[in-house]
Amino acid sequence: MGENNFFTLIHKDASSNARCGRLLTARGAIDTPCFMPVGTQGTVKTLSPQELKEAGAQIVLSNTYHLFLRPGLEIIEKAGGLHTFMSWDKPILTDSGGYQVFSLALLRKISDEGVHFQSHIDGMRHFFTPQDIVRIQQVLGSDIIMPLDECVHYPCGRDQAEVAMERTVSWAKKSRITHSAIPQQGTRPQYLFGIVQGATYEDLRIRCCEELIETGFDGYCIGGLSVGEPKNLMYNMAGICAGALPQGKPRYAMGVGLPDDIIEAVTLGVDMFDCVAPTRYGRNGTAFTHTGEITVRNAPYAKDYGPLDDMCACYTCKNFSRAYLRHLCNAKEMLGGRLVSLHNVYFYLELMRAIRQAVAEGTFLAFKKTFLGNYHEKA
């Protein structure tokens, strides 16, 4: 497994729980705190692998549920795995699809053994066990594997949250066993994370952390965040989990988040992030800038010949004006969504670089204050 070499904690901030480190996989290193652009269906929407690399992406995320349903496992397996299929030779983390089964699939029925559901694409019936989910990701060739978990919505009653948390732990243990049985010799190591559930209940979150730690994983996800709860509750849960998880393992806040969410979670000791916002907002003509979000397709930008963000060095900002991007978005030209997505992904990756540098230099809280001050100013 080589799990002792997987994560190296390089620097801890003296004034907060922020930290920087490095994940080492067979397909390359990932500096943390890191942001993973989301490539749900085996593509980060609108962007090419070359653009992602040039923007500084060290890892992308993809989704087991979506890829299993379309194009299907056999097609990816015959391609030689997901990396070859999508032409991405750096690390890939695959989400288990637990969240998608609970948010997209039809007629799902859950039991301790797994989850029955119907595909949201064609209505076909499927059954996923936690063991299946590990094996599927093994075939995909993911560098970092997520176990099947049970997600709950917000708000969620305590009883339901407890059942889901316990099932998540039980599935995590089964996943661990399946994962340990995968022969690793001669293949690239695949790292398995545990997912902390427990909704907004502090004691459930802590119990979940403890049980997962007892089993032992290569890293830990804080799941069930960014599902509609107020921000203070999100930060509260992230902080509680980060505090209960081991220092020597990476911590990943799944689906988090917007730039200010990421900075807060870094402060609490979180190392890894993913979010659809850069590309989803981008396709809708909304850009992240150091002075906040701007919706470039709106009328005020019609004759604004400045770049999306005058502090940005991405291809979009170096070459195109807000006026042009507005025109593209209004004329429904795909290049618009593509160029704003590219900027947004670059913005996120640049933010992570700045965070890492600030942590390394011991200036993280000052950086945070300046960044958030500018970010919440009106652009």
Nearest approach, Cβ of 75 to a second copy (angstroms)? Answer: 6
Report DSSP state, residue 275. Answer: E
Answer yes or no: 274 catalytic.
yes
Q: Of residues 335, 360, 365, 372, which one binds a second copy by CB under 8 A?
A: 335
CB 123 within 8 A of CB 106: yes
Q: For residue 63, state whether it binds a second copy (rule: CB under 8 A).
A: no
Q: Which two tokens stand for residue 76?
A: 């990816």
Q: Of residues 8, 16, 17, 48, which one binds a second copy by CB under 8 A?
A: 48
Q: Which of 143, 218, 274, 309 is catalytic?
A: 274
What one-letter code names the amino acid at 263? I
Tracing tokens 């930290």 back to the chain, one arrives at 19
Q: For residue 319, state whether it binds a second copy (rule: CB under 8 A).
A: yes
Beta strand ranges found along the chain (DSSP E): 7-12, 19-25, 28-32, 34-37, 60-63, 92-95, 106-111, 114-118, 125-128, 144-145, 191-196, 219-222, 251-253, 272-275, 286-289, 292-295
Q: Which of 13, 95, 132, 271 is catalytic?
A: 95
CA gap 122, 203 in Å, rounded: 40
Beta strands 19-25 and 28-32 are antiparallel
Q: Given the complex with a second copy, which of 154 and 315 has the nearer CB atom?
A: 315
Judged by CB under 8 A, how many residues of this single chain contact a second copy? Answer: 38
* 44 three-class SS: coil
Near a second copy in 128-187, by CB under 8 A: none
Three-state helix/strand/coil letters over 52-85: HHHHCCCCEEEEHHHHHHCCCHHHHHHHCCHHHH
Q: For residue 78, state whether it binds a second copy (rule: CB under 8 A).
A: yes
What string marks each residue from 291 to 310 as x (binds a second copy by CB under 8 A) or -?
A: -----------xx-x-----
Q: Of residues 33, 37, 49, 255, which one binds a second copy by CB under 8 A?
A: 49
Strand partners, 30: 23
Binding segment for a second copy (CB under 8 A), chosen from 102-110, 112-120, 290-298, 324-332, is 324-332
Q: For residue 45, state whether it binds a second copy (rule: CB under 8 A).
A: yes
Q: Of residues 315, 360, 363, 374, which one binds a second copy by CB under 8 A?
A: 315
- What are the residue numbers of the active site? 95, 274
Which parts of this chain interact with a second copy (CB under 8 A)? 41-43, 45-50, 70-71, 74-75, 78-79, 85-87, 302-303, 305, 315, 319-321, 323-324, 326-328, 330-331, 333-335, 337-339
